[in-house]
Every structure is written in structure tokens, then in C-alpha cells.
Structure 1
Amino acid sequence: MSADYARTGFARRIASLIYDGLVVIAFAMLTTVVYLLVVQGAISLGWLSLGEAEDVAALIQQNTLLYVLRDVLLVLVSLSFFGYFWSKSGQTIGMRAWRMQVRRLDGSLPGFWQSAWRSLCALLGLGNILVLVDIKNKRALQDYLSGCEVVTLSKEDNKKIYQALD
């Protein structure tokens, strides 16, 4: 791949974020279902009791520990999604569709923990607003805090990355 790519602007980043948001929502739904089954299993084994709650979902809402644990799991799933994809190819599903890649400033791929940190710093996508202000560099808050950049790839280079994953 050639070394010089333009940094990605705001609109393309948001379009990719919408794609990825849908995937993360699907993973969150799956995680929630599994969590509900685990809590139900704990109730069946006698480790937990419904008490006054009418069902498992109500128990989770009433029990602070179960509620916080669920939220932590959902955040971990989100961070893991971005951490995995960015460290493996520099692209999530949405980024692949929009021919974007996250990379370190030296052009290499970020590691898992750097990618997870970048995801956390994105503040649910709000960090991208900085791209509108930082016209010269086109870097978002998460790019600055993680030492990364997002570039727009050519169609050929995007295809090479996709094929290399097979």
C-alpha cells in the first residue's frame, strides 16, 4: 500500500459510526440475552432469589450490583469490538464499507489496548466533532489521545486489506 492517504473528514466518520453503531447494538442485545440467561441460571441454582422482583429483568433493575455488572459488560463488549477490529486490520465493518482505516501515526496498526483506549476516548462518537474544528489535521479527540489517525484508502488498498483477512 502506498504511504500517503488523506485523513478522513467528519461526514465519512459519522457514516461509518452509524454502521458500526448498529453492529455494536446487535452485540449488546446478544450480551444482554446471555446475561439474562446467566442470572436466570443463578436463580435456578439457588444462588440468587427473585425476592420481590416479578422477573429477571426487574431483579437486575432493582439490584445495584447486577445492574452495574450488566453495564460494565456492555461497555467491555463495545471496547472489545473496536479493540479487536482496529488491532486486526485497522477497520471495523463500517470503516471497511467507507474505505477508512485507523492507524498509528507511523502507519502501523494500533494494538488491542491502544484501540480499546481510542474507543473509550471517542465518547460515543462525540470526539469526532473535533474534526470539524481541526480542519488542518482532521483528527478527532480519540485520535489525539491515542496517537492515531484515520485515513481514507483507495478502493484497491481497501480490497487488499479485506482479502488479507481471509
Structure 2
Amino acid sequence: MSDSPASAGFPRRRLLTGTAGLALLLAGCTSGGSGAAAEETTAAQEDRLTAQVPVQEAVVAAYDAALAADPALGGTVPDLPGQAREQLERLRAAAPGATASSSSVPPGPPAGTDVRAWLRDQVSAAATAHAAACVEASGAGAALLGSLAAGLRGHAAALA
């Protein structure tokens, strides 16, 4: 029998192709806004990214402080500090107006605390901040912030 449920009616592939074509058509029709509006959006996007640079700087500083407090920690998560630095560089590249800041750098883990747990808390807080900023961003900025948030969630899981 050649009349299977999959071949009866409107094929899914044709529906998806039509939907994608319609989305492209709509995007083409609505993307021609004024130059001033596009510049305003770009400036707001850069501001959102710039605001997240100190958050990521704090993550890098937290790794440095944690490794200074517990050098053995570096052997258990050797790639994470370098990844945090790479994330910071990507963020700085996307926010060219950003300058180095020391205002949000954590002082280091308090004496007698679990350094790994302290670091995990710092990383989790930064992931939450990036995720919140991602919701307000768009396009490449949203993708970058979402990537940073997801990456830091992976760091937090590795530190658990």
C-alpha cells in the first residue's frame, strides 16, 4: 500500500519550506528602517555588552583569587580560568568602548571558607547576570551573552 499516513495530506517538508520562505519575505519587508533607529539600536546593544564586561572581569579575578587561595584547585579544573579569559576577550571585542574596571572584582574567598564553593557562587552569579542581559539584547549581542551565560553554567557544574 502506498497510502501511508505520512504521504496523505500536506507534506511536512513543503510546509516548512513555505514557512521559511514567508519568514524571509517578512524579514526583508521590515528590515528597511531608518539609519538613525539602526544606530540607536547598535549603541544600546554596545552599552548592554559594555555593562557586562565588569561582570566577566570579576569572574577572571575570582579564578585568580581562588587559585591563589587553593593552588590545588587549578589541577582539578585546568581549562576553566583560560576559558573565562577567552570569554572576557570576546566580550571586550564586541564592546569596543569597554575599559578595564576593578570596581566589581571580588576581594577573594574569605578565610576558612570552601574556596571551590565560593568560586562556584561567583561564577553562577555572573552567569545569571549575563543571562538577564541576554534577554534585553538582540542579534549577535544576545548570542554572545547567551553563550557566556551557558559557558559559565558549565563552569559552575564543573565546580560542583
TM-score, with structure 2 as normaliser: 0.32
- Higher helix share goes to which structure? 2
Query: When you count strand as a share of all residues, which structure comes out higher?
Result: 1
The structure with the larger Rg is 2
TM-score by length of 1: 0.31
